[in-house]
Amino acid sequence: MSSTHHKRRVRKAVFPVAGLGTRFLPATKVMPKEMLPINDRPLIQHVFEEAREAGIEDFIFVTGRHKELLEEHFDYQPELEDTLKARGKTDMLEKVQDSEMPAGRLFLTRQPRPLGLGHAVWCARELIGDEPFAILLPDDLVNYKQGCLSQMIDAYNVHGGNIVAVKDVPRPETNKYGILNIGQDDGHIVSVKGLVEKPKPEDAPSTLSIIGRYVLQPEVFDHLAVFETGAGGEIQLTDAMAKLIGQQPFHGLRFKGDHHDCGGRLGFIKANLAYGMADKEIGAAVRQAILEAAETIKAGGRDVAAE
Ligand code: G1P
C-alpha cells in the first residue's frame, strides 16, 4: 500500500438522503426528513455546511422519490432575494445566499429501492470514480467550532486510508450502530481491527460506535458491488468497510464536539434545545424557557403540553 496513493485529497462527499423517515410520520408524509429543521436550518444544510468547511467541492446526493425539495433548497431563489433586498433584510439575505450550492457542484443519483446504506453509497460509484471520498449521514449532527469532517480530514492527512468518526455508547445500545473491534488506542485515534454492524450487546467487541461520518477509499466499491446482505437483511456499508481492514490503513477518530442523533424524535428535540441554546439571537431566551419548563416539571410533574 503506497501512502501517497492513500492521501489523495478528499474532494467529494456523498449524502445518502433516500430514507423514508418513518419515525417522523406524519411530519414526513410529503416532506423529506432531511428538511426537518434544527434551529434555523434543515438537517441537510447542517451537513452541507460541515462538508463545505472541510474543503469538499462536489456534493453528491443519493436521493429517491419525493425528495425534490432537497435539491431546490440549495437553489438560487431570485424572488425571495429581491424581496429581502427591497426590505433591507441583509441578515436574512446573507443566510439565504449562504445556503446556495456553488454552480455545477451538486450531483444527484438515485437509489431506486431501500436496500441499505451500503447500496445507497454504491449508487454513487460513477460520480466518485477512483478517488477517496467522504460520507455524511444527515441524521447525525456534531456541534463543535471545527466541524467533525474537518477534524477527520486532519486525521486523514496524517494516517491516510479510511477514517470513521467514533464515540462510546452505553453497551445496551450497540445494536443500533456499527461497532469497532479496536487495536491501538491513544484516546484520540484508534486503529480498527474489525467492524461489526449492530451487534447484540453481549456480542459487541467494544462500545465504540460509528457515527455517520466516513472518509473512505474507492476500493470500498469493489466490496459493495458484491451485494452481500448483512444485519437486517440490508447491504451494509459496515460489512464492505470491514473488508478493507488489513488492506489499507483504517482508523477511528474520537471527534471533539457534541453528537446528536437526529434520526428519532427524542434526539431531534434534544438537538433543537442544544442548537437553540447556542443561538446568538434566541439562546438566552431558550435557556430561560428550559428553566421554566424544568420548574413546572419539578413543581408537580405536570404535562406542560397538555395545558
Ligand atoms: C447507520 C450505519 C451504522 C452507523 C449509523 C450511524 O445505521 O449502518 O453502522 O453506526 O448509521 O448513525 P442506521 O442509523 O442507518 O441504522
Averaged in consecutive runs of 10 residues, what is the pLDDT profile of the chain (307 residues)? 67 96 93 96 98 98 94 94 95 94 96 96 98 98 97 97 97 97 95 97 97 98 93 95 97 97 96 97 97 92 57
Q: Candidates 122, 176, 220, 261: which one to mutate for ligand 1, based on the most atoms within 8 Å of Cβ?
A: 176
Q: Give the model's pLDDT for residue 2.
A: 46
Residue 280 CA to ligand 1 center (angstroms) comes to 32
Q: Give the model's pLDDT for residue 6.
A: 55
Closest listed residue to residue 21, CA positions, set 6, 34, 8, 7: 34
Closest listed residue to residue 211, CA positions, set 303, 105, 140, 288: 140
Beta carbons of 155 and 252 less than 8 angstroms apart: no
Atom of ligand 1 nearest to the CA of 137: 12
3-263 belongs to which CATH class?
alpha beta
Which residue matches cell numbers 456480542?
203
| Domain ranges, ordered by start, for the chain | 3-263, 264-307
Task: Extract the C-alpha cell encoding 204.
Answer: 459487541
Beta carbons of 209 and 168 less than 8 angstroms apart: yes
Amino acid at 148: C
Residue 207 CA to ligand 1 center (angstroms) comes to 14
Beta carbons of 256 and 165 less than 8 angstroms apart: no
Amino acid at 299: A
SS3 assignment, position 50: helix
| Bridge partner list, 170 | none
Ligand 1 within 6 A of CB of 212? yes
Instruction: Answer yes or no: pTM beyond 0.85.
Output: yes
Q: Give the model's pLDDT for residue 222.
A: 97
Task: Extract the C-alpha cell encoding 224.
Answer: 459493495
The pairing of beta strand 41-42 with beta strand 37-38: antiparallel
Ligand 1 within 6 A of CB of 162? no
Segments in the chain forming alpha helices (H): 43-53, 68-73, 78-86, 90-98, 117-122, 125-128, 148-159, 220-224, 237-242, 265-277, 283-300
Residue 169 CA to ligand 1 center (angstroms) comes to 13
Ligand 1 within 6 A of CB of 250? no
Atom of ligand 1 nearest to the CA of 178: 9
SS3 assignment, position 6: helix
Task: Extract the C-alpha cell encoding 165.
Answer: 468518526
Ligand 1 within 6 A of CB of 47? no
Q: Candidates 135, 140, 167, 210: which one to mutate for ligand 1, based on the most atoms within 8 Å of Cβ?
A: 210
The residue length of the chain stands at 307
Task: Extract the C-alpha cell encoding 289.
Answer: 424557557
Q: Give the model's pLDDT for residue 20.
A: 86
Task: Extract the C-alpha cell encoding 196.
Answer: 461489526
